[in-house]
Structure 1
Amino acid sequence: MRWQEFEQAAPRIAALARERFTQEQLVLLGTVRRDGSPRISAVECDFTAADFCVGMMTPSTKASDLLRDPRVTAHSLPPGKENPLGDVKIFGRAVEVLDRREKDVYEDAIFARLDWRPPEPYHCFAFDITSAGFVRFEDGGRRWLAWREGEAEREEFLADGPC
């Protein structure tokens, strides 16, 4: 499901993700290389009314990864070992945005943030989200939120026990 639907299906995780990704303006993007090994890259991200998007210049190895294998992960930037803000993770598939009107909306979001528009040619990918999660270590344990497509958001606190 695209971002707008995700916000309705998993409102707490979506709010945490939007806040973090908007504040940081970057995500760690996980893609699958041609040989099947993982690739992780820091990329800028933007929200439109309906989508969570990332853009890449042409040619880009990340874009080649996604065009070949659309499985993708976005992870918030951890602010350090203690990470008091927690980690947000979004999983799904990248959908290349080819419609000119949708690309214009994406470019408007970038322009509002940076006063700049990406020159063509470039790749824009929207996330088709299938699952998401959030975890924060607090009060001697970890609090997590999780969601999978077709299920409700769930929350749990796990107290740390002996190793």
Structure 2
Amino acid sequence: MTSSTWAGFHAAEPEFATTVQSRFERYKHHVLATLRKDGSPRVTGLEVAFRSGELWLGMMPDSRKAQDLERDPRFAVHANPGPDDSMDGGDVRISGRVLEVTDPAEIAAFVAEVGPPEPFHLFRVELGEVVRTSVEGQELVVQSWNPGGSLRTVRRR
């Protein structure tokens, strides 16, 4: 599976990346999907951080979602849909793999910038797919991007 950093995605599709990031930054809490040891899905809440050209996931020590990601780095994160059904900004999700950051200097830099309470697990995201679904007039619009490709848009009535 080809992957990309957030900076790589932003360089390839700056307008789409800005739209997706804005949608995630609108709310603090989002929904993370990981895989349990038996392969079944686990869905939990979390916060995301966009810093230094990367998308970061942080979580409490020894949380089930952190254990899932340490065992199997595949994930999907879905932006908080918000308090109403307007789909303002669209429905946005990102999937890919994570790399756990264990280097003390990298963790210290993240703490200095973001300020989460320690200790915590820190994961750097490698993007595999970014999708935004929105309604424009009478059309459902699905935009998707994968590393190495260009932005694809499908419109349906």
Query: Under a length normalisation based on structure 1, what TM-score does the superposition of the two structures give?
Result: 0.86
Runs of 4+ in 1 over 3 A off after TM superposition: none
CA displacement at 1:31 relative to structure 2 = 0.5
Is 1:16–1:88's contact at 8 Å kept on the other side of the alignment?
A: no
CA displacement at 1:12 relative to structure 2 = 2.9
Aligned to 1:127: 125
Give RMSD over aligned pairs: 1.5
Q: Aligned pair 1:143/2:141, yes or no?
A: yes
Aligned to 2:155: 157
The aligned runs of 1:12-23 (5 Å cut-off) are 12-23=15-26
Amino acid at match of 1:98: T
- What are the Cα deviations for residues 53-78 of structure 1, in whole angstroms up to 9, with x where unaligned? 11111110000000000001111111
What fraction of aligned residue pairs are identical, expressed as a percent?
Answer: 31
1:55 is aligned, of 34, 54, 58, to 58
Query: Under a length normalisation based on structure 2, what TM-score does the superposition of the two structures give?
Result: 0.89
Separation in 1, partners of 2:56, 2:131: 18
Separation in 2, partners of 1:92, 1:12: 20
Aligned length: 153
CA displacement at 1:100 relative to structure 2 = 2.0
> Unpaired runs of 5+ in structure 1?
112-116
> Unpaired runs of 5+ in structure 2?
none
1:101 is aligned, of 80, 98, 105, to 105
- What are the Cα deviations for residues 108-142 of structure 1, in whole angstroms up to 9, with x where unaligned? 3323xxxxx3212x200111001111010231121
Is 1:46–1:109's contact at 8 Å kept on the other side of the alignment?
A: no
